[in-house]
Structure 1
């Protein structure tokens, strides 16, 4: 399957390189990112492991992210400041509904601890300790 998309960073461009490695027991994703402001490139990276089985009904997703971004996220800043995040999500599998066309349904609870900086799909660009509640449906 081919995927493409566009994402805009705050006051800068960025380029991603993604690598997915999976087996029957392990699903991993690695990425490298380069942020570009007016005159400087800043590096970032991340790795996650998905759907780690913990017991019969629990799955765990973990991710770590690291970056160097322009100080104060300024477009003209040439010096950078390091930052990072740790993200953990637990999924309690409620059912597997193959007859209805659904592969599964889960209730999710997550925690993120993040320093100041831009992280794709996170609304808060400041320091953060956040929690999530949600539901996943697998088609």
Structure 2
């Protein structure tokens, strides 16, 4: 039990430090990703282009980070980020993050489960899949926050 608490504290320490400084440096996103993930690096570039300041750290295993942040396994993407106390899981578009920060719902954060083609960082020319951004509620439930991509036929 004590080891689990120590591991939780070690995983969350960078996020806690960011939370303490986020009011002074608004819209700083702290991203945990694997070193070999190119699409995560492109997502970081997209967020920087949208005006966010990015702090990136490479980790060997994202599961402890996502576990500590409260992201259910079925809603995970390929990177986990924190901004102003909210988790951002996967390839969430900048406009959805900005809306989250403006509306400040009582929630864990946003997720784009998986790696949908056409989401920020997953662009492949003109090919775009329809995908949803979900709001992760504190009780473990989730609801649709936004839908992107071509209209359903």
What TM-score, normalized to structure 1?
Answer: 0.29
Larger Rg: 1
**RCO greater where, 1 or 2, for CA within 8 Å and sep 6 or more?**
2
In terms of fraction of residues, the more helix-rich structure is 2
TM-score (norm 2): 0.27
Q: Flag the structure with higher strand content.
A: 1
